[in-house]
Amino acid sequence: MKRKPSCSTACPTRRSEKALDPARTDRGQQVRDVALSMFVKEGFGNVSLRHLGQRVGVHAGSLYHHVESKQALLFELIHEHLENMVDAIARRTRKTATAGAKLSTFVRIHLEFQIHHQECAQLLGLELRSLDDAYRAQIQPLLARHRSCLTEIITAGVASEIFIAQPIPTSVNAVLGMLCSVAFWFREGHQPFEELVKQMTAMIFGLLCPPAQKADPSLSIGCRPHATS
């Protein structure tokens, strides 16, 4: 079975010296991949650099050639995953016009990151709380951007009467809760990805649309899930 890329594989490292040393880059990537799996499966607090080094096959002291600290490693994994997802959502929703189309796109991209970078999504949900205050403060703007994007979509949909009038923060929390949970229960072969996107999109539109439009989607094109590329 083909191995899914990790969040750190998905975006290049920011450390310029690693770009000049392929061997160090490969080892550094291995450290991040192994750390990601260990943090998710064993818990961040239960993984020491010594245990990480043993799993990678290097002395704990050698890890400092690739990571600054265990905290810095956790931050890097979470930040890269979240930044990639937020940027992708912002870029692709800008290409759509209506609130309905933007919401369909938001759901699809969120699910892409939940499924195709599943361990990264799990790490974000499980271990964000383990970051020190200084690192967590650097994550907060990305979380705020993510919520703001969905808030703007739902607000625009309510204003244009595509979605039913409702407390926006509650709707945002409900939608994000549904989407973020997928990484914890989805299993390979459980359901084809396109079917999952279709089902989850329909469920989320069902939360937001007026009852008459749920019963007869043809009454409002705007409230029907849109196909996304």
Same domain, 133 and 22: no
pTM of the model: 0.82
What's 89's domain CATH number?
Answer: 1.10.357.10
Check residue 63 and give its pLDDT: 81
| Structural domain includes residue 22 | yes
**What tens digit of pLDDT does each residue of 183-201 get?**
999 998 888 999 999 999 9
**What tens digit of pLDDT does each residue of 125-179 get?**
999 999 999 999 999 999 999 999 999 999 999 999 999 999 999 999 999 999 9
Using the predicted structure, report yes or no on whether residue 202 has a pLDDT greater than 80.
Answer: yes
**What tens digit of pLDDT does each residue of 96-108 get?**
999 999 999 999 9
| Structural domain includes residue 4 | no
**Closest to 118 (Cα-Cα) out of 172, 191, 32, 180:** 180
Same domain, 77 and 151: yes
The answer to whether residues 209 and 223 touch, using CB atoms and an 8 Å cutoff, is yes
Percent of the chain with pLDDT over 90: 69
Check residue 178 and give its pLDDT: 97
CA separation for the pair 213, 45 (Å, rounded): 48
Q: With left for phi above 0 and alpha for psi between -120 and 50, is residue 12 left, alpha or beta?
A: beta
The domain boundary residue, chosen from 24, 39, 67: 67
Higher-scoring residue by pLDDT: 218, 88 = 88
**What tens digit of pLDDT does each residue of 81-99 get?**
999 999 999 999 999 999 9
Burial (CB count <10 Å: 0-12, 13-18, 19+), residue 41: exposed
CA separation for the pair 140, 138 (Å, rounded): 6
CA separation for the pair 7, 83 (Å, rounded): 10
| Structural domain includes residue 1 | no
Both tokens assigned to 217: 């989607």
What's 19's domain CATH number?
Answer: 1.10.10.60
User: Which amino acid appears at position 9 of this protein?
Assistant: T
| pLDDT mean across residues, the chain | 85
Q: Note down the domain range covering 54.
A: 15-67
Burial (CB count <10 Å: 0-12, 13-18, 19+), residue 57: exposed
Percent of the chain with pLDDT over 70: 81
Check residue 221 and give its pLDDT: 42
